Structures are given as C-alpha cells and as structure tokens.
C-alpha cells in the first residue's frame, strides 16, 4: 500500500511491525476471509501500544526520534516510588506509542513481565 512501511527484526521469532498511512484502519474479515485494509477518519491518538526489545543503543533511539520529530521519552515504570524497569516511550507520528527497551534494559523488564512484579505493576495501574 502506498505510504506504508515495514520493519523486520530478523530474529528467531520473525518479529516485525507494519505501519500504514494514518487514515488506514485494519478491520477483521468475516467467515474465512482475512482482514481488510480501509481508509477512515484520522484519530487523534490510538488505544494501542507494544513493548519491543530493540538491538540498538539509547543514543540511536533518541537520534531517530529527534530526526523524525517524534516524542521520545526515557521513562521508568512501576508503582509510585518504585522503579521496576526502564524504557523509552517512542511516539510514532506523535500518536502511536511503542515502548522500546534496549539490550541493557530487557533483563529488568523480563523479571517484571514474567513474575509476581507484573501483578503488582498492573494493580498499581488499575489493570489487574
């Protein structure tokens, strides 16, 4: 589709992200049909985000964000007063947030994502 782009990690999981022009909406298919791509109204922001581990350093994340004019903010996550793990909020087109963790950040995140700390974090955000 014109204006779309894709990034593939080329890892053992086949990880990738596809990004479409901002008026694009993906809608589920019916029956055995696969999903479809349509154009709609441009939302101000979206209720979606993903945490992605990336094989680049912090300076590269910040440089790309600055180059594109996208908000790129280093953050700590956890209940008030508790820093469980750090990440970058990387706001694609200043509308869609990706949480990016570098190789030096991923171990702390994995401890939270795979243990009791995840339940504490979710409870502190009202998501449990």
More confident residue, 39 or 65: 65
| CA dist., res. 106 & res. 46, Å (int) | 25
The pLDDT, as a whole number, for residue 123 is: 67
User: What is the mean pLDDT of the segment spanning 98-103?
Assistant: 95
Predicted pLDDT of residue 91: 93
Three-class DSSP category at 125: coil
Asked whether the predicted pLDDT for residue 20 surpasses 50, the reply is yes
Q: Which residues contact 8 (CB under 8 A, 6 or more apart)?
A: 14, 15, 16
Q: What is the pLDDT of residues 85-96, one digit of tens each?
A: 999 999 988 888
pTM over 0.75: no
Which range of 35-39, 93-97, 101-105 scores highest in mean pLDDT? It is 101-105
């Amino acid at each position: 589709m014109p204006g779309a782009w894709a990034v593939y990690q080329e890892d053992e999981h086949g990880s990738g992200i596809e990004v479409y022009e901002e008026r694009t909406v993906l809608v589920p298919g019916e029956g055995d049909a696969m999903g479809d791509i349509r154009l709609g109204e441009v939302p101000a922001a979206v209720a979606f985000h993903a945490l992605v581990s990336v094989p680049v350093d912090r300076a590269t994340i910040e440089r790309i964000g600055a180059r594109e004019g996208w908000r790129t903010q280093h953050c700590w996550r956890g209940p008030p007063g508790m820093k469980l793990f750090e990440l970058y909020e990387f706001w694609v087109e200043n509308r869609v947030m990706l949480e990016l963790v570098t190789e030096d950040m991923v171990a702390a995140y994995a401890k939270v994502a795979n243990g009791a700390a995840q339940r504490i974090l979710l409870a502190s955000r009202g998501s449990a």
